[in-house]
Each structure stands twice: as structure tokens, then as C-alpha cells.
Amino acid sequence: MKRDNLRIIWPAVPVLLALVVITILLFVVGADPITTYSAFWTGSFATAERTFSTLAFWVPLLLCATGLLVTFTAGLWNIGVEGQMIMGAVGASWVALKVANALPNIPGLVIIPLELIIAFLAGALWAGLAAILKTRGGVHEIFGGVALNSLAIIATNYLISGPWQPPEGGTFRGTQPFPAHTLLPLHGDTLFSPLSLVLALLVLLVVMLTLKGTFWGLKLKALGKNLSSAFMMGISSEREAIIAMMLCGGLAGLAGAVRVLSWFDSLRQSISGGIGFLAILIVLLSGMRPLFTLVIALLFSALLTGGSIVQLRTQLHSSISGIIQGLLVLFMLLFGDYRKVIRKRRVVKPAPGGDA
């Protein structure tokens, strides 16, 4: 078989392997695989309502994944994407709660873009902090990101239970619902906002073109593959790293805004729902190819959305979605790169202590 064909067909191999293992697993726990798989289908795409639900979950996932395409290209592990998303949600909530309250006459046409812009900025600054910690403080972005994630969660909890608590008294659940004109226009009775999908797809397209066709995209690629060589070729690693992080943070912030302005209607305790971490997995699995990212993100949101119907039909706990997801990830990581599978494994010894 020609190498190119192999490369295109290969991704099916780990998916099929995972399906085989999942089927065996379902037999073992006594569930009928056919019923389970059809329940997944019913739960995610069979009716218009379920489809929109899947799409509504897909949009923020896609936004985060798009941002991560940028940072992964630059060789940065932006684990802080979760916190950046939360800060974006906080920014959007601030506009929806405080600005809309102070200036009640501003129409939605102005307030919604303002929310998105503030969300973008908030996410970008939060990411910028992680970037500065890395370039100036020598704190690896993974550790900085984890710390900032916790801080973002603490900040939300403080706001919900303190200054932004609903008038009837503070709970840990959330703020009061935002005024209707500050929310993203939804499709019918669903939680899906078509506007947000258009935005997400547009952003993905722009990022795709940027990474492929612009000088900046090429610089990021070089930076991600070899920092020292890139520096020697005149690329300022610090500047590009900060910009890449901030762009990713901004997009994660938009995802946060989409969560509070369509999926929820207020700032909640757990607005992220693990979407940031899931997006990291998706980008890793897609091998940083934007179109794969798009598809895998859709698959994962279908799996998660379908989980509840599976529970109803088969009495399996809805965490089955997570198990299936985990197995898919495991098999893709194990067998996803055909070159690694085919190539003879060599034992690599550590480099010598010194060279004369």
C-alpha cells in the first residue's frame, strides 16, 4: 500500500480497535451493544432537539480546541485553558450583570458584542499571566496553568457567593439570571445559539488559514518544533509565545461567554464542565489537524450528550460516555501514529555525560 493512502486510512484502525474492546466490555457488564450504540445515536442526533443539544455542547469545545491549535503549534502546553474559559465567562457576566444594569437602554446589538469582547480580553489576560510567568518567572505553563485554573474557580465562587449574589440571598449555585436582551439568541426552545456556531466555525477557519498561510503561523510552527533554532533565525520566542497564549486564552474566553450566555443564563459554579481539558485531548488526538479537530470534537460532544439516553435505555450509568471516550483516547495514543507502530522499536540510551 502506498504510504500516503496508509496515512489517510490509518486513523480508522485505533477507532475500530476501541470499538471492539468497548463491545466486549458491554457484553461483560451484560448490556446489549446494539441497544447501547443505538441509544447513543438516539441521544445525540436522532431528533432535532438532541442534535441541537449536541451542537450547543460542541461550540465551546470547538472554540477552546481552536485556541489550543495555536498554542500546541507553538509548542506550549496551555493547561490553563480551563481557567481562561472561566475568566471569559466572568468577563461576559460582568457586562451582562453590571453594565447592562447600569445602562439599561443599551440594545442587545451592542451589549452582546461587548460581552464577547470583554470575555475575549479577560481570557487573553489570564493566559497572558501564565505566559509572563513562563517567560519571566521560569514557571512552566503547565504548572502556572493549573494554579491559575484553581484561582479562576475560587474567583467565580467568591463572586457568586459574595458581590454578585442574587438579591434573594447568596447560594453557591449561581448569580441571578441575566436580562434576556444580554443573552445570545437561541434557536427555538433549545440551548443552541446559531450565532455562536457561525462564530466558532469562522474562528477555526481564520486560525487554520493563519497557521497555514501567514508568516506568523510559520514562526509559531518553527518555535514549536525547535526553540533554539527559531531564535537563531531571528524569531523572538518570548513575544510569539505570549501572543499565542493570549490568542488561545481569548478564544477560551469566548467559549466561556458562550457557556454563560446560551447553555446557562447566569454565572454558575462549574461553567466550564471540563470542556477545556476535553479540548486538550481532542487537539492531541487530532494531531493538530484543524479538520480532524472539528470532527473529533463533534464526536465527543455527541458521546457526552448521548450518555443520558443510554442510561435510560440500558440502565448503564451515564459515565459510560467517559469510559468510551477514555478507551478511544487510549487506543489513539497507543496506535494513532502508524509510523510508530510499523517502525521497529529501538532502545534509546541516554546521552553521554560529556564529549571530548
Residues found near other proteins in the complex (CB under 8 A): 125, 128-129, 131-132, 135-136, 213-216, 218-219, 221-222, 225-226, 228-236, 238-239, 242-243, 246, 349, 352-356
Give the shortest CB-162-to-other proteins separation in angstroms: 12
Q: Return the number of the residue (179 or 238) whose C-beta is nearest other proteins.
A: 238
Which helix (H) or strand (E) segment is 145 a member of? Answer: helix 141-161
In whole angstroms, give the CA distance from residue 247 to residue 71: 8
Give the shortest CB-81-to-other proteins separation in angstroms: 18
In total, the chain counts a number of residues equal to: 356
Give the shortest CB-77-to-other proteins separation in angstroms: 18
CA distances from 254 to 23, 37, 131, 352 (A): 38, 33, 19, 48
Q: Return the number of the residue (68 or 222) whose C-beta is nearest other proteins.
A: 222
Q: Return the number of the residue (225 or 317) whose C-beta is nearest other proteins.
A: 225
Q: Return the number of the residue (167 or 215) whose C-beta is nearest other proteins.
A: 215
Q: Return the number of the residue (190 or 237) whose C-beta is nearest other proteins.
A: 237
In whole angstroms, give the CA distance from residue 145 to residue 134: 10
3-class secondary-structure state, position 45 = helix
Phi, psi angles (nearest 5°) of residue 174: 175, 180
- Quote the Cα angle for 123-225-237, to 5°: 55
Other Cβ atoms closer than 10 A to 133: 19
Give the shortest CB-328-to-other proteins separation in angstroms: 27
Encode burial over 284-294: b for 16+ CB neighbours within 10 A, e otherwise: bbbebebeebb
Give the shortest CB-223-to-other proteins separation in angstroms: 9
